[in-house]
Structure formats: structure tokens, C-alpha cells
Amino acid sequence: MKKTINIKSLILTSLIISISLTTVGCNNTKNAKKNTITETKVAQEKVNFPITANITAGSTVTLPNAVVSSEKGKDPVLSVGKNSVEQQVSFNLNKFDEDKDAYIYINKRFVDKVKVGKETEQYVLFKEADLTEGNKVMQVVQFENNDTSKSVVKYNEVKFSLKYK
């Protein structure tokens, strides 16, 4: 009789643990899907370039990993593989507000939003449309209260050329 009760208890305990683990696993999958959806919405966010943006004195945007630097008045040159689908590009922001997001545009087309912090080096992912050879402009904009319908508080840009390796 005692062995039967112990076996039944063991089976019942195993069943409860299995159900608990399954429930937790399913909830984590749901949360992962929600996070993916949120990240996708941010990536798909479209923010029109502010027509009234004027360069803010003192703030700068630089491309530290350019093959040719911007010394002597030349535009920096970024080198990418000809068949690249995506390319992570680093850039430095100087004298931008740390408490505001920075909206990144390539040729006035919104590509990403980054958090500005104490670290000046940031990264943006260039996709196929941004990876064509030629002259380009990266614009960085900060809006009042991080509200894209409000006025521009910081703006600067960097001109560069993109060349295939």
C-alpha cells in the first residue's frame, strides 16, 4: 500500500512539474514574440525628415572607421562589399543631448533611432537601399521631448562617399 501511494505521489508530482514547465515555456515564447513585434515596430517606424532642420553649432557627427577621413575638406569614404545586404556602420556623436534619442537619416530617409548616452560611438545598420555606391549624407536629429512632431533641438550631418571593395 505504501509503495502504491509513493508511486502515485511520484507520478502526480512529476505531472505537476511537467505542466508547470510547459506553462512557463509557453509564456516565455509569448513574451519573446511580443518583444520581436515591438522591435519590428521600432524598426518600421517612419519619421519624416524635418524640413526646418538647421545645423546646430557645436554638435558634430563623424565616421571614425572611414577609409578616407574628412581631413583636408574631403568627404569620408566608407568601403563595403559589393554584394552586401547589410553593413553595420559606426559613427560618433559629439555634443548631442544624452537624455534624448537621436533619429538617423540617410539622404533624408529615416533609417534608425538610437539612444544617446555618455558613449559617443553609436552604430546604425545600413540595408540594401543605403549600400549603393555614391555620395550620401547621414543626418542626425534630436527633437524636443523625443516627440518627432515638436521642434528640432539638435541637428548635424556628415557627408560621405560609399565605395565597393
Give the domain CATH number at 79: 2.60.40.10
Count of structural domains within the chain? 2
d(C-alpha 54, C-alpha 72), whole Å: 24
For residue 138, what are the domain limits? Answer: 60-164
User: Could you tell me the pLDDT band of residue 15, with boundaries at 50, 70 and 90?
Assistant: low
Q: Does residue 55 form part of some domain?
A: no
Q: Does residue 158 form part of some domain?
A: yes
Q: Are residues 89 and 15 in the same domain?
A: no
pLDDT at 101: 94
How does pLDDT run across 109-154, given as a tens digit for each residue?
A: 999 999 987 767 888 999 988 899 999 999 999 999 999 999 999 9
Q: What is the mean pLDDT of residues 18-40?
A: 48
Q: Does residue 134 form part of some domain?
A: yes
% of the chain with per-residue pLDDT over 70: 72
Q: What is the pTM of this model?
A: 0.70
Q: Does residue 49 form part of some domain?
A: no
Q: Are residues 29 and 67 in the same domain?
A: no
DSSP letters of 76-131? PEEEE-TT-SEEEEEEEEES--TTSEEEEEETTEEEEEEE--S--EEEEEEEGGG-
Q: What is the mean pLDDT of residues 87-95?
A: 91
Q: Does residue 145 form part of some domain?
A: yes
Q: Are residues 111 and 151 in the same domain?
A: yes
3-state secondary structure of 41: helix
Q: Are residues 78 and 151 in the same domain?
A: yes
- pLDDT exceeds cutoff 80 at 29: no
Q: Are residues 18 and 98 in the same domain?
A: no
- pLDDT exceeds cutoff 90 at 103: yes
- Comparing 101 with 13, the larger pLDDT belongs to 101
Q: Are residues 92 and 160 in the same domain?
A: yes
Q: Are residues 15 and 89 in the same domain?
A: no
Q: Does residue 52 form part of some domain?
A: no
